Amino acid sequence: MEGKEKLIVITGATGSGKTTVRNYLVDQYHVGKVITHTTRSPRKNEKNNVDYYFESDSSFAKKHFLEHVEYANAKYGSSYEGLKKAWHNNPIASIVLDTQGAITYLNKLGNQAIIFFIQVNDHNSLKKRMIERGDSKEKIKQRLCSAEYERDLKIPIELRSSVHIIDNSNWQTAKHTVDKLMHELF
């Protein structure tokens, strides 16, 4: 997978603002968007084929994924076809992944992968943001109890030498960091 194309891999804890950063990159910098697949049900305002490809367990099992994971009892996966589609429109694309997926992409793409880790130091605000997003109490509880939640609060050792940290405790500050990174990197 060597080439001039780049993939901005946006990772971090649940509720930290990965999707918010990705939407900003799409709106402001017109980066391509890799849509991934999931078996979880859509949140209010989420649309099939736009936010995710929403799958049943059986349709998910038939797909050929570049990588797939389980996160808080649901399945998620991304394909090479999805990446090629995003790169077809723009040589800079973006994808939102858990930290396990981010490590896989860094290993597969090398320096074509640019890792953004979205950080929020006050972990209580992650729960507040999920409530404000409209997630059900039950889903939030399940997520906060998961091993994946704990794992993704910290930058994994495998990403440490390549990661760009974006503190999203405050959106104006985060936006400023994203703008600075985009000017430095491209």
Ligand X SMILES: Nc1ncnc2c1ncn2[C@@H]1O[C@H](COP(=O)(O)OP(=O)(O)OP(=O)(O)O)[C@@H](O)[C@H]1O
Ligand Y SMILES: Nc1nc2c(ncn2[C@@H]2O[C@H](COP(=O)(O)O)[C@@H](O)[C@H]2O)c(=O)[nH]1
Residue ranges in contact with ligand X by CB under 6 A: 14-20, 129, 132-133, 168, 170-171, 174
Q: Which is nearer to ligand Y, 136 or 172 (CB)?
A: 136
Q: Using an 8 Å Cβ cutoff, are 128 and 74 in contact? A: no
| Residue 127 within binding range of ligand Y, rule CB under 6 A | no
Angle between helices 18-29 and 171-185 (to 10 degrees): 50
76 binds, among ligand Y, ligand X, none (CB under 5 to 8 A by kind): ligand Y
Q: What are phi and psi of 165, to 5 degrees?
A: -90, 130
Choose which of 98, 140, 174, 178 interacts with ligand Y (CB under 6 A). Answer: 98
| Residue 77 within binding range of ligand Y, rule CB under 6 A | yes
Q: Which is nearer to ligand Y, 50 or 172 (CB)?
A: 50
Angle between helices 124-133 and 137-144 (to 10 degrees): 150
Q: How far is the CB of 6 from ligand Y (least distance, A)?
A: 18
97 binds, among ligand Y, ligand X, none (CB under 5 to 8 A by kind): ligand Y
Q: How far is the CB of 1 from ligand X (least distance, A)?
A: 25
CA dihedral sign, ordered 86, 91, 95, 99: positive
Under rule CB under 6 A, which residues in 53-72 are in contact with ligand Y?
Answer: 67, 69, 71
Contacting residues toward ligand Y, per CB under 6 A: 14, 18, 36, 38, 40, 67, 69, 71, 76-78, 96-98, 100-101
